[in-house]
A and B are shown apart, each in its own frame.
Chain A
Amino acid sequence: MDHYALVKECLKGRPSAQKELYQQFAGPMLSICYRYTKSMADAEDILQEGFVKVFLNLHQYKFQGELGGWLRRIMVTTAINYLKRNARYQTDLLYPDDNMHVVSHESHPELKMEARELADLVRQLPPGYQTIFNLYAVEGFNHVEIGKILGIKESTSRSQYARSRALLIQWIEQKNNDVKKTVYAK
C-alpha cells in the first residue's frame, strides 16, 4: 500500500493501516529519537509520544511532501520537547558558554565507522551539544532556527556547535587511530 492510500486508511481509523504505518516508519523514527537521547528507553518514550501525535493529527498532513519528512519533523519536535521537560537533560540544555578551546578542524577524518558507532559517539556529547549537533549537522537547521527552537541566541548555538563538532572530530580521530593500531597489531 502506498503512503497516500495508507494515510487515507489511517484517517478512517483502521487499526491495521495504523500498524502498517507504524511498522514502516518506526525504525527510521527510532533512529532519530536515539540520536537525541542518552538511553534507548528515553528514545522509545519519544517514539511512542511522537506516534500518538502522528495518529491524532494525521488529518493535518496535507500530502505536500513525503510522509516520512512530515513524521520526521514531528519526531524532532517531540524529542526537543521531551528534553526540555526532562530533568536529566535540562541542566545541560542551559548551554552555558564554557572556556573550552576550540580547535579549528579544516580537515576532518574519514568516517569509517558504522552508523550505530557514530550515533553512539554523538550521544556521548553533553546533552546541549548533542542537541545542537543533531539539529545543525543532521537535520539541517541553521543557527537562527536552532536559536528559536531552543530559545537561545544564535551566537550561542554557533559556538556550541563548533565545540561539539571539535569534540566529535577528536573522538572520531581517536577511534580511527585505535582501529589502525589494532590492524597493525594483527
Chain B
Amino acid sequence: MQNDFEKQVRDKMKELDLVPSAPVWERVQEQIRQKKDRKRAIIWLPLLGLLLAGGIWWLNDAGNNQTISTSHHTQTNLPSTQKVHSENNIRSKQESENNSPIEQNAATLQNHVERVDQTNTSISILPGSGKGSPEIRTSGISSAKIAKRNKINTIIKEPVQLKETKPAENLDHTIRGIVPFSEQQKLSDNHLTGQENAQLSTIRYQPDKMIQVPNEMEKNNPVRLSEQQTQEIQFKPIVKNLSSGPIVNIARGNDRTWKFGFSGSAGISGAKYGANLFAGNKIADAVRIVDSVQPPFIYNNAASKESKTIQNNFAFSAGMIARKSLSNRFVFSAGILYEYLSYNSTVGIRINQPVAVQGTTNGALYYTSYSTKQQEYLNQYHFISIPVTIHYQVLRNAPLSINAGLSVKQLVKTNALEFNHTSQMYFYNRNAFNRTQLFPAIGVEYALLKDKSLIVGPQFESSIVAFEKNGSDEHLYVGSLKVQWLFLKN
C-alpha cells in the first residue's frame, strides 16, 4: 500500500508542468557567455602571454644584436696571467671564428669611435656577488654617478685587478674575455661625427681589442682608457637584474644563429567533440540511443545501446626543424614535418554495392548496425605540418623548457569515414574534410647530451578546426613523445 501512495504521487507530479518567466532564458544565455569567455581566457591567456613575452624579447634582442662581440680577435693575444679564463673562452672563440656575419658587422662598427676624455681611466666589470648585478671597478671617473645611472651594485675605485671567476654555468650563453688594449688602438673622439655619435651602440669594436661599455654609462660618462692599462671585462649570462636595464648586454655570437636538425615523435592520436584541449568526449558519430530512463534514474540496461567510443591509435611524425635562440631563456623553432594520425572506430558490415549517400555513390560504405557483426575500422590521416613554437627555459641551471605553439597541418590523404545520420551509414568522401587544420600545442622538453643537441619531451596538440565539413564538432588530437636532434658543430 505504501508503494501505491508513492506511485500515485509520482504519477501526479509528472502531470505538473509550469512555464518559466521569459527573463530566465536571457539570464541563462548571459551566464553561459560569461563562463565560456572565462574558460577561453584561461586557455588562451598563458599562450598569448608566452608569445607576447617571446616577441618582446626577440625585438629587444634584435636591437642589441646590432652590436656584436667578436672575441676571436681578443683571444689571440691573451696575457699569460689571464689563462684562468682561457678555457672558458675556447668555446666562444671557436664559435666566433666561424661567424662571418659577425665579422662583417664588426667591420662596420669599426668605423665608430669612442668618446674619450683626457682622464686616465680603466674599467673592470666583474660578476656581481649575489644578486646578479655586476660590480664595476674604475679609476679616474665618477663612479658614484655611474652606479646611480646604471643601477650597479658596487663601484670600487682602484685598483684594476684580475679576478678568477666561477666557470660559466652555460658556455653557450657566456663570453668571458680579458681584452688587451694597446696604445696604437686607443680610442679617440677625434673621429666622432654627429651621426656616429648618434649611432653609438653598446659595444665598441676595434681589431685586436674590444671594449664593452654599458650604453647609458658611455653616453653620460665618457670613459678614458689609458694606453698602459688593461681592460678586463667579464660577463655573466644575462640574468634577471641585468635584463631590466641596459647595463651589460651582449650578443652571443653563434648562439643566436639558426640551428637545424631532425625532429620526430611517436604517440597516440584520437578524436573528440569540442575544441577544448582538456575536455570533450570521444564518442563516435554513429550513436543513436533510443533508450529511456524512468525515475528514479534506473537505466534500462537491457534496452540501452552502448555508445561507440573512438579508440586512440598510433601517431608519429618526422621531419626537419630549425631553432633560434631569442634570448637566454627563449627559443623560437619552426619546421616542416610529415605527420601520421590514426584512430579506430567501430562500424558495421561493409556493403559491397555502391549506395547513394548525400548524392554520391561510393563502394566503401559500412552499416552502423548494433545487432549485426561489428568491426574496427582504422581511420588514418596523413598531414604535412608546419609547427611554430616558442620555448621557455624554466630553470636557469637545467635545460628544462616548456613550449607552446601552433601547428598548421595540411591534410594530404585520409581514408577516414564520415557518418550520415539520415542513412545511419559510414561512408568515405574525400571532400568531407577540412584539409587545413590548426593545432595549438603545448609541451615540456629536456636537452640531453653534453652539447644539448638531443631534445626530448612530451607534447600535446589538439585541433581547433573541426575535421569534418558537415558541421560536426569533432576534433583531432595527438599526444606524443617528441625527439629533436640538432646538428651542432663540436
Interface positions of A (Cβ within 8 A of B): 4-5, 8, 11-13, 15, 18-19, 22, 26-28, 30-31, 34-35, 43-44, 47-48, 51-52, 55-56, 59-60, 62-66, 68-70, 72-73, 105-108, 110-111, 113-116, 118-119, 136-141, 165, 169
By the criterion CB–CB under 8 Å, are A59 and B280 in contact?
A: yes
By the criterion CB–CB under 8 Å, are B31 and A64 in contact?
A: no
9 interchain pairs (CB within 8 A)? A28-B17, A52-B32, A56-B36, A72-B297, A106-B1, A118-B16, A138-B295, A140-B295, A141-B296
Knowing that A27-B17, A63-B283, A70-B293 are A-B contacts, what are 14 other residue pairs whose CB atoms are under 8 Å apart, sorted by A's residue number?
A11-B473, A12-B472, A26-B19, A27-B20, A31-B17, A34-B18, A43-B18, A52-B31, A55-B28, A56-B36, A59-B281, A65-B289, A68-B293, A73-B297
Q: Which residue of chain B has the shortest Cβ distance to A62 in the bound complex?
A: B307
Q: List the A side residues contacting B16 at CB < 8 Å.
A: 31, 34-35, 115-116, 118-119
By the criterion CB–CB under 8 Å, are B293 and A65 in contact?
A: yes
A15-B104 Cα distance, complex, nearest whole Å: 61
By the criterion CB–CB under 8 Å, are B17 and A44 in contact?
A: no
Known: A31-B16, A31-B17, A69-B297. A4 touches B288 (CB 8 A): yes
B355 to chain A, nearest CB (A): 22
Q: List the B side residues contacting A48 at CB < 8 Å.
A: 24, 27-28, 31
Q: List the A side residues contacting B279 at CB < 8 Å.
A: 59
By the criterion CB–CB under 8 Å, are B18 and A31 in contact?
A: yes
Known: A26-B25, A48-B24, A51-B28. A118 touches B9 (CB 8 A): yes
- Total number of A-B contacts with CB less than 8 angstroms? 145
Q: List the B side residues contacting A169 at CB < 8 Å.
A: 5
Q: List the B side residues contacting A108 at CB < 8 Å.
A: 1, 4-5
A116-B9 Cα distance, complex, nearest whole Å: 12
Q: List the B side residues contacting A44 at CB < 8 Å.
A: 20-21, 24
By the criterion CB–CB under 8 Å, are A139 and B18 in contact?
A: no
Q: Is B264 an interface residue (CB 8 A)?
A: no
By the criterion CB–CB under 8 Å, are A27 and B19 in contact?
A: yes
Q: List the A side residues contacting B304 at CB < 8 Å.
A: 64-65
Q: Is B6 an interface residue (CB 8 A)?
A: yes
B307 to chain A, nearest CB (A): 5
By the criterion CB–CB under 8 Å, are A111 and B291 in contact?
A: no
A104-B188 Cα distance, complex, nearest whole Å: 111
Q: Is B292 an interface residue (CB 8 A)?
A: yes
Q: Which residue of chain A has the shortest Cβ distance to B28 in the bound complex?
A: A51
By the criterion CB–CB under 8 Å, are B273 and A11 in contact?
A: yes
Q: Which residue of chain A has the shortest Cβ distance to B15 in the bound complex?
A: A115
Q: Is B100 an interface residue (CB 8 A)?
A: no
Which B243-295 residues have C-beta < 8 A from chain A?
Answer: 273-274, 279-281, 283, 287-289, 291-295
Q: List the B side residues contacting A28 at CB < 8 Å.
A: 17
Q: List the A side residues contacting B13 at CB < 8 Å.
A: 31, 35, 115, 118-119, 138
Instruction: Return the CB mask of B384-426 against A: 1 if under 8 Å, else 0.
Output: 0000000000000000000000000000000000000100000
A13-B298 Cα distance, complex, nearest whole Å: 30
A63-B289 Cα distance, complex, nearest whole Å: 6
Q: Which residue of chain A has the shortest Cβ distance to B299 in the bound complex?
A: A65
A43-B24 Cα distance, complex, nearest whole Å: 11
Q: Is B10 an interface residue (CB 8 A)?
A: yes
A78-B25 Cα distance, complex, nearest whole Å: 17
Q: Is B12 an interface residue (CB 8 A)?
A: yes
